[in-house]
Amino acid sequence: MTRHLEPGEFDRWYGGWDPLDPTTVGDFMAGFERPWWIIGGWSIEAFTGVPRAHEDMDISILSSDAEAFRVFLGDRWTPWNVDESWFRPFDDRFLDVRPDSQVWVRRDARSPWVLDVPFTPSTDGRWTNKRHPAHTEDLDDVTWVAPDGLRYARPEVTLMFKAAQARDKDRRDAEVALPLLDERARGWLADAVGRMDPGHPWARS
């Protein structure tokens, strides 16, 4: 939804970021009794053990748990719903959120954003691929619990989403993570990417 901005302009329009990290996000989410898991770059770092730069902290929850998350935040934090069509408060005035949108969280208008929460569409409580809705999985099959006790997206799942973006950081993540995937994970990634883009180099021929 947010238009392309020159460096420095994003903060002027929307405010800056001071994101949580894996050492702090667990405390932030303590008491939220629905599934949540870390996605994006932090999930790649947790799997590979190779440090990388991070611009934010991304976690995901099932879209069916969006209202529970809003209630959990209460008056302590201010969530905004980010969608292709709007950027608006996620409060009593605007309870309708699309299942493939996301929520940014900060304490108030004078504070930086600390958390980005892209929703994962759910089908009867199952993880649903937002880019290929016919693809559903049990949540336990697309996430894992790392030694730090936190749940992360499996690396092949993160790479599936990165396959369509091909930014420099996505290519670097692939270079580090792909050689470490086992046969099962490689097959899952090839099948999933092939459903969305049969010509992609990660798709099974």
| 86 located within any domain | yes
Of 108, 119, 98, nearest to 39 by C-alpha is 119
Instruction: State which residues form the domain around 71.
Output: 9-155
Task: Work out how many domains the chain is built from and give that number.
Answer: 1
Give yes or no for residue 6 having a pLDDT over 80: no
| 177 located within any domain | no
Per-residue pLDDT tens digits for 157-194: 999 999 887 788 999 999 999 999 999 999 999 999 99
Of 99, 103, 165, nearest to 136 by C-alpha is 99
Residue at 75: amino acid letter: D
What's the rounded Cα separation, in Å, for the pair 171 and 152?
Answer: 20
Residue 126 CB partners (closer than 8 Å, separation 6+): 136, 137, 138, 139
pLDDT at 15: 83
Whether the Cβ atoms of residue 22 and residue 150 lie closer than 8 Å to each other: yes
| 4 located within any domain | no
What does the CA dihedral 127, 130, 136, 141 come to, rounded to 10 degrees?
Answer: -50
pLDDT at 199: 84
- Under the banding of pLDDT at 50, 70 and 90, the label for residue 4 is low
What's the rounded Cα separation, in Å, for the pair 29 and 4?
Answer: 31
Per-residue pLDDT tens digits for 102-159: 999 999 999 999 999 999 999 999 999 998 999 999 999 999 999 999 999 999 999 9
| 128 located within any domain | yes
| 186 located within any domain | no
pTM (two decimals): 0.93
- Under the banding of pLDDT at 50, 70 and 90, the label for residue 205 is very low
| 201 located within any domain | no
**CATH code for the domain of 97:** 3.30.460
SS3 for 180-193, per residue?
HCCHHHHHHHHHHH
| 61 located within any domain | yes
pLDDT at 150: 98
Per-residue pLDDT tens digits for 49-97: 999 999 999 999 999 999 999 999 999 999 999 988 788 999 888 788 8
| 19 located within any domain | yes
pLDDT at 204: 66
